[in-house]
Structures are given as structure tokens and as C-alpha cells.
Amino acid sequence: MKQVFEPATIGSMTMKNRIFRAATGDAHAINGHYAPEDFAWYETMADSGVGAIISGLANVCDYPMRDEPGMLGIYDDSFLEEYQKLADMIHQKDSRLIVQLVHCGSNTYVTGRTIYAPSAVTNPMSGAEPVELSVEDIGRIREAFVRAALLAKKAGCDGVELHGAHGYLLHEFLSPYYNKRTDEYGGNIENRSRLLSEICTEIRAATDLDFPILVKINCNDAVPGITKEDFLETGRILEKAGASAIEVSGSWKSNKSWQPYFLAETKELAEALNIPVILTGGVRDLPELEKIIAETQIAFAGMCRPFIVEPKLLERWESGNLGRSWCRSCNACMTTKLICPYR
């Protein structure tokens, strides 16, 4: 029977327990590079007892694809040293580092440059009016993801996560709302998954058979977009393409409860795949999580806001004080840049 606090592996990465600090972007970066306060926060997280830390979303492209100024980047050798430093620090504390790779697509508030997306569909959140990517530009973006993964590997990071959720470019390709293409990147779910699966295949070919490639995908959407069938099929396609694990997320509209709100969908995906599946969103209670890990095929859990509210949550749980996380999923941390009223 699986347990939360036992070592577990994803490809070449062995974690001391099954808990990830889910990706948490904090918009402090300076020209894509980590700010000193980010390092301090990663140190706090590495000390917290998590098995692995997924970085905040890091852009794989420089101008003209770059996004907001405070966003992390990983697109050339100038990033190697800081990722090396970060990975070394995290390893010394017996945790692991996964770098989350993203291209923002039309999910951006940046102005003064061309915004690219699968199709020229106005983004209902940001209002951005993107230009449809040519197949050549799609190829350049694919290369940028592979280059970023190789930089992360070279720096000694334990793996990468492709951000295929939350309305960013790879998710926009998956979504029939944003993707109106009539070529091999649009139409059925196989075509809409093509860019993600090509990126997986190419990273796998350029690295090792067991280099951890995680992918975060939505199981549902805020706008009429991917269906549950699309979600399950994307998981199957990604497994065939060489993904090492899938983290399940979804629309922020599902985010009302402080129980695991994607549990049913995550469970179903875990039953459909042979690779590990990660439950994220609303995980707040250790006994409940232990039951999920013991009784289902779900192999790992991710938590984001609980660690903003209480960075030493795992220490408390491991000491036998099992009270729930205080985080109420209120999203104040999103709107006020990590300042939580419960802190």
C-alpha cells in the first residue's frame, strides 16, 4: 500500500516523500532572472520537507515571445549559473527541483509587441488580440522548449514540467476555444495535442530515457474548451510521447472548495495510465491524502497555497499535529502577490 511519507520515484528522480510544492510564480524576476527574495523563498520551501519543488513558470522564449517583466525565464546560458545554485541548494536539503517551462501565448498583459497564439482569437481574460502562429514559428517554439529543458538538465535540475494548463500557449493548442486551426495542429484532440507531444518526444530524444518530463494539464476549462475525453486522451498521447508524469489541474472556477477538487478526474486519469499522476488543487488534509494515496492509483500530490499560508506545514504534520492546512482557497495570494491574510 502506498504511503505519503515514503520515498517514491519519477524516472531518475527519487523523492523522500510523495509531496510536491506545486508551481508558484511570484513575478519578482529581474529580466527573467531570479531575485534574491526568490532564492530565500526556495530555501524556505526546500527546508519545509517537500519531496520536490516545481519552480514558478519560466518562459522558454526571449523577445519577441517574452512575457511580463517579473516572470522567470530559461532561454540561454545566462540562466545556467542561477539554476545550478538553486538546484545545489535544494539538493543539499534533500529535496528536488523541477523547472516549469511555459510560453504564455495570448495569456499575457504585455503590450507593445506581437502576441502569438494558435489562432487569432481574442483572449477573454487578457483582451490580447493574437496573431496566428505559422508552422515555422511553432517549430521555433518547440525548439525553445527543448533548449530550455536541456539548460535545466545541464544546470543539474532534476527534471522539467511542461505547462500545458491555465490558458497558456500549450493549453491554448489543446483547447478548441483558442485553437481554430485547420492544419495538423488543429481539429481533433490528436492534432491539438501535437505540439505538446512533439515537445515531449524531442526532449526525451535529447535527454535520457528516465529524465523526468512532467506535464501539467487541465481536466476542465473556464471557457467552453477541452472535454473530459480530451483530457484523458491527451494523457494517453503524452504517455506514448515519453512523458514521465502528469499533474492534473483545471479551471479556477472549480476552485471553490478546500477539498481536492479535481480528485475524480485525477483518479480516472491515474487508472487510464501507467505513468504516475499527481493530484493538485485543494489538498489540505493529511489523513484524507493518505487515504487517497493508499486507495487509488494516484501516486503524488501537489500543494501551492498551503505552503504560502504555512511554509512549515509538513513539519507540523510529520510531528503528529495533523490539523488541516488553514488555506481556504480564497486566492488572495494570486491577487495580492503572495501576501496571505492567514499568514
Ligand X SMILES: Cc1cc2nc3c(=O)[nH]c(=O)nc-3n(C[C@H](O)[C@H](O)[C@H](O)COP(=O)(O)O)c2cc1C
* Interaction site with ligand X (CB under 6 A): 22-25, 56-57, 100, 163, 165-166, 216, 249, 280-283, 303-306, 329, 333-334, 338
CB 160 within 8 A of CB 148: yes
57 DSSP assignment: P
User: What minimum distance in Å lies between the beta carbon of 145 and ligand X?
Assistant: 15
**Residue 223: how many CB atoms within 10 A of its CB?**
16
Degrees to nearest 5, angle at CA 27 with 26 and 33: 105
Cβ 262 to ligand X shortest distance, Å: 9
Which among 67, 73, 52 is positioned nearest to 126, based on CA atoms? 67
Nearer to ligand X (CB atom), residue 158 or residue 285: 285
CA 268 to chain centre: 19
As measured in angstroms, the least distance from the Cβ of 134 to ligand X is 27
CA dihedral 155, 156, 158, 159 (to 10 degrees): 30
DSSP character at residue 167: T
Q: CB 111: neighbour CB atoms within 10 A?
A: 7
Rounded to a whole number of angstroms, the minimum distance from the CB of residue 308 to ligand X is: 7
Answer for the pair 231, 217: CB distance below 8 angstroms, yes or no. yes
Q: At closest approach, how far in Å is the CB of 302 from ligand X?
A: 7
**Residue 197 vs 254, nearer CB to ligand X:** 254
Q: How far is CA 16 from the centre of its chain?
A: 20
Under a CB-based contact definition with an 8 Å cutoff, are residues 208 and 237 in contact?
no
Counting Cα atoms < 13 Å in the Cβ hemisphere of 123 gives 25
Measured from the CB atom, the residue of 142 and 166 that comes closer to ligand X is 166
Looking at beta carbons only, is 161 or 233 nearer to ligand X? 161
- Which residue's CB is nearer to ligand X, number 25 or number 181? 25
Tell me which amino acid residue 209 is. L
Residue 181 or 195 with smaller CB distance to ligand X: 195
C-beta closer to ligand X: residue 181 or 219: 219
Rounded least distance, CB 161 to ligand X, Å: 8
Q: Could you give the C-alpha distances from 189 to 196, 199, 202, 233, 268, in angstroms and in order? A: 11, 16, 20, 7, 18
Residue 306 C-beta: closest distance to ligand X, Å: 6
Closer of 174 and 303 to ligand X (Cβ): 303
Q: Which residue is nearest to ligand X (CB)?
A: 25
Minimum CB distance to ligand X, residue 21 (Å) = 9
The three-class DSSP label of residue 261 is coil
